[in-house]
Amino acid sequence: MLFEQERQQKITNYVEKNGRASVQELCKEFEVSESTIRRDLKVLEDNELIQRAHGGAIAKNGVNFEPTFSEKSDRFLEEKKAIAKKAVEFIHEGDTVLLDAGTTTRLLVDEMKALSIITVVTNSVVFANELENYPKIEVVLLGGKLRTETLALVGPLTELCLNQIHVDKGFIATNGIDLEVGLTTPNLTEAATKRKMIEQSNQVIVMTDHSKFNRHSFAKFGTIEQIDYCITDDKAPNEVLRALEQKGIKTIMSPLGGE
């Protein structure tokens, strides 16, 4: 028997894989009533994960779809805040850290403002602007082409800059994390930049809310085995977290409220 959150995640995956699904089909697949499936579909549509249609649901977006930075900012906001509060505990005086552009890593920036004597390397113009008035934090902004969807600097110039540095810890954002596929993002150019970020980090710390598990986007940028730590919220699927632990990856769940 699946928990509600697990079932909804599996419904999302099912609809994305097949393109569409009827209520009756989902009832049979997950062995629950029509009223349960209809409630699940409403929740998933409210979270912009699927689109309800007459008699069922259709996939909202293809694997190469990507909402804008502002569109993603408010999704699972409390979960992302909890993840950021846990992630900042990994940063110590004297560290050099790399921050990948993302809405979860954006909240880590807020938590970092109380720190001092650290160096932050980032491909996010938003993050650099946020930290400009904190003189005890040295900011290194990578060059590159600006992607308006994510407000990230990406491409060959970004990778060239990354080749010149090596950091203690890399905090990486992802659009999907799948045990078989790995880490993925919708854009090939951004994937190449993320791949180089992983290569140049002594420790790779993936920050991801529960909605990204068992999902994959168009472009792969990393393997599961390259992750050292995965910080997520307490709604993440337990079976996936156990599988990650078995692969030697330390998983950290941050409860809402930071308790």
DSSP string, the chain: ---HHHHHHHHHHHHHHHSEEEHHHHHHHHT--HHHHHHHHHHHHHTTSEEEETTEEEESS-TT----HHHHHTTTHHHHHHHHHHHGGG--TT-EEEE-SSHHHHHHHHHHTT--SEEEEESBHHHHHHTTT-TTEEEEE--SEEETTTTEEESHHHHHHHHT--EEEEEEE-SEEETTTEEEES-HHHHHHHHHHHHTEEEEEEE--GGGBT---SEEEE-GGG-SEEEEETTS-HHHHHHHHHTT-EEEEE-TT--
Query: What was the pLDDT predicted at 50?
Result: 84
For domain 69-254, say whether CATH 3.40.50.1360 is its number: yes
How far is it, in rounded angstroms, from Cα 128 to Cα 152?
11
Statement: residue 257 has pLDDT above 80 = no
CATH numeric code, 4-59 = 1.10.10.10
pLDDT attached to residue 71: 53
Chain region(s) in the chain for CATH 1.10.10.10: 4-59
> pLDDT value at position 49?
79
- What mean pLDDT value characterizes the chain? 90
Cβ atoms 131, 113 nearer than 8 A: yes
More confident site: 259 or 189: 189
Give φ, ψ of 127 to 5 degrees: -65, -45
C-beta of residue 88 within 8 angstroms of C-beta of residue 112: yes
What's residue 66's pLDDT? 60
Beta bridge partners of 124: 152
* Separation CA 54–CA 84 (nearest Å): 39
Q: Which pLDDT belongs to residue 20?
A: 82
| pLDDT score, position 63 | 56
Look at 88-102, 208-222, 239-253 and tell me which has the smallest mean pLDDT. 208-222
Each residue's pLDDT tens digit, 98-113: 999 999 999 999 999 9
Q: Which has the higher per-residue pLDDT, 106 or 218?
A: 106
pLDDT, one tens digit per residue, over 168-188 is 999 999 999 999 999 999 889
Backbone torsions φ then ψ of 241, nearest 5 degrees? -60, -40
Angle, CA 254 vertex, CA 253 and CA 256 arms, to 5°:
135
Tell me the per-residue pLDDT of 136-155, one tens digit each, with 9 for 90 and over.
999 999 999 999 888 899 99
Q: Compare 6 and 24 and report the one with higher pLDDT.
A: 24
For residue 76, the model assigns a pLDDT of 81
Higher pLDDT, 83 or 74: 83
Decide if 185 contacts 174 (C-beta within 8 A): yes
Confidence check: pLDDT of 69 > 80: no
List every span in the chain annotated with CATH 3.40.50.1360: 69-254
- Does residue 118 surpass a pLDDT of 80? yes
